[in-house]
Structures are given as C-alpha cells and as structure tokens.
Structure 1
C-alpha cells in the first residue's frame, strides 16, 4: 500500500501550482479579497510539496508589505494561524452547530495592512506532503532551507510582489525558524541570487528562541504571578542553580523542590494561566518543564467531546473542533484545490512528523540580522507561561543592544494594550512588546490590539503612537 501511495504521489512530481479561490464552503457569497492556494516543490527532485495560502492585502497590495507567516509546533498547520490568529476569515464561534462551520470575515486580520503567505511547514504539516518516504525526514535546518527555496520560487511566479517590503513572521516554535529563514534570504541577497528579495525584517510572537532558558523562565514567571511561594521559589533557585531542566538526578533537594512546583502548577493551563486546564482531560500526566504547549492535544479533546458528561468546563480546545470538521470536508478540500489522496487526514497539529529539533538557540541569528540593518519585532502575551516574556527579555539582553526608549505602556482606544521597549544598535532597531492579558499566542487572544501593533510597526511608527 505504501508503494502504491508513493507512486500515486509521484504523479504530481515537480508540479508547482496556484489556483484562485473565489468562494469557500461556510462563507456566504464570494470572498471580498484575493485568495489563492497552491503547491511549490522544493528539494533536489522537488519531492517535498509545500502547500500555501495567499491572501492579498485588503488595502494597497501593490505597495503594502508581504509577510511570510509560519505557524509553530513544529507541525501545526498554517490554516490554524490563518483562521485563529491573523488571517482574513475565521469561524463564527457563536454558531457552532452549523454545517459546514460558518465562516465570517476577521475585522482584525493582518491583511488589513499587508499581503500574507501562510505555508504548511515542515513537510507533513497540514496539506504539505512528500512524494518519497525519505522526503518526510526534516529538521529545523532543513525546514528553514526549504522555506528559503519556497520563497525564491514563489516570487518567481509572483514577480509583481518582488519589490514589496518583505517580512518573515511567525510565532511559538517558529521563533526558531523565522530568523533562520530571514538569515538565508539575507545571505542569498548578498550572494546575488535571483530573485533578490526586498527583505526588511522579521517578527516573532511568543517565540521559542533559546530553548532551555525559555523553559527555565517558567518557574520565575510562576513566582512573579503568585503561583509559587517565595520560600519555594528561592529554595528551588538555590538547590537547582537556576536550571530546572538539566537536573542531576542525584540532586535530591532540587528534585524535591521541582515536585512541589509541579504540584502547584499541575492544574494551570500554561498557554493562558487564567483559563481552564484541559490537559487534565487527558490520561497522560503533564509535566511543567517539557517542551510542549502544556495544553491537551486536539485528539484528546475530540475523544473527550464524544463522551457523555453532565457538566463540561469550557476549554479553549472547543474552538478547534470546527476546523477539524471544515478542513476534512471534501467540498472544502476541493475548493482549496487540495490534491486528493496526498494527505489521509488533516490535523491542526501533526505531532507524528519525522522532525529533528536540531537547533535550539537562534540568538546569534537575531544578532547577525540586526547587525545587517534589518528591523525586528518581538512580542509576547503576558499571560503565556509556555515561553514567558521574562525568558524572552533575557535572550534579548544577550544581544547587548542600547535601550533607546524605556519600558512604557502602549494603548489602543485609550486603554493600555501592553508595554514596550525599543532597542537600537548602530544600524538597526528591535522592538519588544507585551500584549496585556494575552496568552499563547497573542493574536488568538487579543486580535484588535495585535493588529494595532503590527499596523504601527510596519508603518515605522512607535507602538506608543495612535496610528
């Protein structure tokens, strides 16, 4: 069966494509913006077929920036970022019982100010696939090179966007991938490779960047949010020497402190500390200091919803039920021009991909990009304990940038939307911002504030302005 499947997939070998999508099941009428989907083959034999969604700016697509958007995971579909975070349409969650699930326009889509390409990467994510079994093996290094090749080929088939300002963007685990892709593009430009890309900078939200440090910061964050006592926090910091991941198993005092910390936090949803913890629905125990979101996996939730319960606590995972129904519907896949048979079942996050996290520190990529004059925006939901903003500020400190604008609030409609700080070196600028009350990831929780943030930053305005 596997051989037959690969032979079938091979019939699409080397075939890049793009199709205009004028309407979608669940949306009334034609889409009021330009929307395109397609595949671009990468690799020596183009065995990896990366699927993408492209939405043109709703403002001035001929002039507005072009953003490449990467959803995290690794293995989470671009469609999740498109629908639940920054894309032009979303589900009407107030009408959950319609079939197909009802789509509505997103008033806070980032396509209000930019054109956006959403890519299912790495291979095995979303609707991306390989024509060979070996092609499914990937890593952070390979994914970043695949995406660089993707962008070169995409701009060759869309040359009218080659002069638009280009930004590489993404969140969560893509905090590792985004600066790597931007760095490859910068190198390609320096080497004179075609097409030259008008790279201006990058954005990362709630990012993994320096993995162990990011995860270690969860303990400090929990203390600052009053989830741990000062006695327990100080004891753990002393006994564990500030390292709660690489623990010597002979260090009994540290292990005992970590057991108490996990007990304090076992019912906290680390994706958004104020929301119910749906991981308790899963039979698999959860630990605070492992590298995953800490929420229940979608399949656990979907199985749970099938069980009769008299009283079901609301969980954020409820919002994801609609996307499983919608994306696996044949009429939807036909409208999106999916190559039938290439992906047996669409999943929001594919945790079974063959992927090596062979890069766990991208601080130097940030350093090199900033030295070359590129702009950076780093933002964090301040209620996110997956990759807390405290850890993000620590790795930013390693860049040794000068602070040109001290920590201060930024506002939307007269209300504090978060806090921001601006850094400069001799040629570049980095802006960091928190998003007040947002979790992992910020645009899913506070879309209005995040649109205001990206609008100001892309326009080269301070976040503290009122653009």
Structure 2
C-alpha cells in the first residue's frame, strides 16, 4: 500500500505550449496530477491546472476545485473537457476556460468516479458524509504537497449532485481548518444547479413545464400526482423509495412532453437516451436513472478520449482501471442518499460566515430555478429577510452587447445568480457568462 501511495502522489509537471512526450495532447498550462489513497482500497485521482493568465501569475489568482454531479460524473473528464478546462474534447483551445482566471483542481469524486477507483464494491461511498470524509484526506495531502496554494484563496465550484457534495465538503473543510488539520485559505463555495433540496425540484417540475408550454392541463395533473408520491416518501424518511418514485415521475414527464431533455428544455435528447416507456419500465428504476443521468456524462467520444490519448498522457492510471468503469456502481451505492436534502448544511455554512453562492440555468429542468428559490426561502440564515427585499441586478451578456445574460443579487455572505439561456451545464451553454460569474464570485470584477 505504501508503494502504491508514493506512486499515486507522483507529480508530473508540464509547461505551456508543449506536447506531452509520446502523446498527441497539447498542453496550454502548467499541470500536475496524481492519486491519493483516501481509505484502504479507495484511490482518488486529481488533476491540477495552474492559472494561465497573461495579466497575472497563478500566485495572484484563486484556486478553484470543480466537483461534477451524478454521483458518478467525472470532473477530470466531463468538467474538464466539456465545460471549463483549457481544451475541449476535440483537444482545441477553449476560449472560455476557467484556467484563464484561476488555477483549477479537478477531482474525480466520489471514489469510483472517472479515474478514481476502489479495489472492492464495499469501498464505494454510501452518503455525502463519507464523500466529505474522503475529500478531507485528499485536500490535506494536496495542500501539504502544494504548499504554494495554502495562502491562495480557495473556492469550491460545483454542478448538480456535485453541489450537494460541495456543501457537505465545505462544512467539513471549515471544521478542519479551525482544528488546524488542513492548511488552506478557504474563500467560499458555489452551488451550481445543485441537488440541495431534491423534493423542491421535483415539486416544481410541473409548474415550470406548464409555464413553458411543455405540459397541458392533463399532463400537469399527472406530473403533480407523481410528485406528491415522491414527497410522501421523503416525508416518511424512506429515501430509497423516494429515489424509485423519482425515476417514475421522470417517466411521467417524458411521456407527457414528448421526451423533454431534463438538462436543457430547448434541446433534444440524444438517440441513446430515447427509449419506449415499456423499455424504461423493464429497466428498473436504478438502471433507468443511470441511463438518464450517468451515461450522458460518459458519451462515446469522451470515453474514447479519456481511455485513449489522455490515459496515455497521464501515465499513472493502473492497467486494470477504465475511465468511468465504476461510475454506475457509484450511483447505485449512493441511491439511498440521493433524495436527502442538505439545506441545513447550507444554513450551517452561512452561520459560520462561509461565502455561499447559488447559480442556476434558466433552461434547466432537473434542478429548475423555481425549486432552487423554494429551498433558499427555507433558510434560517439571519440575512434572508434583507436578501429577499433586494432587487436583482442585470448583467450584460459578454457575447451580445445590450443583451441581458444574467441577473444577480448578493447580501453579506450569500449570492444568487440567475443565468439566462443556459441549462444544467451552464459553462457548456453560456461559457462567457459563466467565466464572468467566476470572476465576480472570486472578486476579480
């Protein structure tokens, strides 16, 4: 185990405008990566890009950790090559890469996600508490290894289920810093289209779809009836049943909307996502959920990239590990935790003085903005009343002059960004606006 740990912590440094030896992958920033053994039989992979800005050194810019959703979505894969990394999945420069404004740390989290892996299924995480515990081990080793980042403002940005994990991780990190076990300058957490209160999302699906002319009266009634069943299971504390019923309401939504895309209501599902209701019923609820919410994060072109040129470039991935090979197992292992809310965790963060940002895409269904606003209104935070009284401020779209790209509102240590013309994956849909938001949250604008 000790030998593997040393190999896992191997650091590989590359420099700008170069090519990795033996690989066709261009490098546009100084990089580093490795494994951390977070538990016996549990190995977590991380990949760091140092900020690549023409106006400032990385020591003058923040460090951002990006957490993907699922659970089972790969930050090092999807977040990196589909959203905010320096290169897209065609290995072309991304003009809106977050590396232009921050050093970015991608972590394949929980273990079993992406290049992270476990030796046995028993080592997979079961809930966000276990996820947060693993991340504390990784962050402690990361900041011990990369001492230059200990004083640099550190932010956690997240997407979807990654937001639920980010909230729990942020609370444990705050405690660890206070206890002196982790040395870092934690500056805030940003929850993007995040699964903070699943039932608030589910209960607003009908109203959102109806208001956008994607449901008729009959469909609205069917969706609302199915949503009530999910709510009853949550109220009874039967979260595995709630996850099962959540899969069923998704079927109801698809049948009544001619297969609306849960990630962006104005786009079509890919062919691999379209199945008959009979086939969906035969799948069983967990398989149906994996099909909808895990497999799109592992589309064939991305899998070929990650298991081909990127794997070759990194040079530290064990032979028996396939990128995304355990992703669906991760989702199944976390199924009992999936529908549990973490609104109370956000309240604890705010009470502890942590800077919390919520941001959401206008066209997202699965975590619709209406649902986000509902759980925000349930916060016990003492600044909520004053926050609610504020009027939002419009932000110009960086791509289109005189066009509104977003609205935002901030009070004390809480902020909310409403991102227009974006779905669940905001940086993919509205890259320039997402980059501007990053700069504002990290106090560069």
TM-score normalised per structure 1: 0.78
Give ranges in structure 2 of 5+ residues lacking alignment.
Answer: 234-240, 242-248
**8 A contact 2:96–2:435 mirrored in 1:** yes
Which of 182, 196, 215 is the equivalent residue of 1:228?
A: 215
Residue 276 of structure 1 is matched in structure 2 by 268
**8 A contact 1:71–1:172 mirrored in 2:** yes
- Write the distance in 2 (CA, Å) between the matches of 1:293 and 1:439: 20
Residue 324 of structure 2 is matched in structure 1 by 347
Residue 95 of structure 1 is matched in structure 2 by none
- Write the distance in 2 (CA, Å) between the matches of 1:450 and 1:90: 16
**8 A contact 1:185–1:197 mirrored in 2:** no
- Write the distance in 2 (CA, Å) between the matches of 1:333 and 1:437: 34
Which of 33, 56, 64 is the equivalent residue of 2:29?
A: 33
Which of 365, 369, 385 is the equivalent residue of 1:389?
A: 369
- Write the distance in 1 (CA, Å) between the matches of 2:219 and 2:352: 44
1:203 aligns with 2:198: no
**8 A contact 1:42–1:48 mirrored in 2:** yes
**8 A contact 1:126–1:346 mirrored in 2:** yes
Which of 90, 93, 103 is the equivalent residue of 1:105?
A: 93
Which of 238, 261, 265 is the equivalent residue of 2:257?
A: 265
Q: CA-atom RMSD, angstroms?
A: 3.2
- Write the distance in 2 (CA, Å) between the matches of 1:138 and 1:260: 28
Bigger Cα displacement from structure 2, 387-396 vs 411-420: 411-420
- Write the distance in 2 (CA, Å) between the matches of 1:341 and 1:51: 15
Relative to total residues, which structure has the larger helix share, 1 or 2? 2
Residue 89 of structure 1 is matched in structure 2 by 87
Residue 237 of structure 2 is matched in structure 1 by none
Residue 302 of structure 1 is matched in structure 2 by none
Q: Counterpart of 1:270 in 2: which secondary structure?
A: coil
Q: Counterpart of 1:196 in 2: which secondary structure?
A: coil
**8 A contact 2:110–2:125 mirrored in 1:** no
**8 A contact 2:163–2:195 mirrored in 1:** yes
**8 A contact 1:48–1:123 mirrored in 2:** yes
Instruction: Report the number of matched residues.
Output: 406
- Write the distance in 2 (CA, Å) between the matches of 1:234 and 1:405: 34
- Write the distance in 1 (CA, Å) between the matches of 2:326 and 2:216: 35
**8 A contact 1:422–1:429 mirrored in 2:** no
The alpha carbon displacement at 1:246 in A equals 4.0
1:218 aligns with 2:205: yes
- Write the distance in 2 (CA, Å) between the matches of 1:163 and 1:91: 32
Give ranges in structure 1 of 5+ residues lacking alignment.
Answer: 1-8, 93-102, 250-256, 299-316, 462-467
- Write the distance in 2 (CA, Å) between the matches of 1:215 and 1:260: 12
The alpha carbon displacement at 1:89 in A equals 1.1
Structure 1 residues 399 and 420, CA, compared in 2 at 3 Å: closer, same or farther? farther
Structure 1 residues 232 and 325, CA, compared in 2 at 3 Å: closer, same or farther? closer
- Write the distance in 1 (CA, Å) between the matches of 2:420 and 2:366: 16
- Write the distance in 2 (CA, Å) between the matches of 1:14 and 1:142: 24
Alignment of 1:354-369 (within 5 A): 355-356=333-334, 357-358=336-337, 360-369=340-349
Alignment of 1:290-309 (within 5 A): 292=289, 295=292, 298=295
Q: Counterpart of 1:351 in 2: which secondary structure?
A: helix
Residue 280 of structure 2 is matched in structure 1 by 285
Q: Counterpart of 2:28 in 1: which secondary structure?
A: coil
Residue 12 of structure 1 is matched in structure 2 by 4
Residue 447 of structure 1 is matched in structure 2 by 431
**8 A contact 1:282–1:296 mirrored in 2:** no
**8 A contact 2:36–2:141 mirrored in 1:** yes
- Write the distance in 2 (CA, Å) between the matches of 1:350 and 1:296: 11
Structure 1 residues 246 and 361, CA, compared in 2 at 3 Å: closer, same or farther? closer
- Write the distance in 2 (CA, Å) between the matches of 1:235 and 1:40: 47
**8 A contact 1:412–1:452 mirrored in 2:** no
**8 A contact 1:122–1:138 mirrored in 2:** no
- Write the distance in 2 (CA, Å) between the matches of 1:319 and 1:439: 18
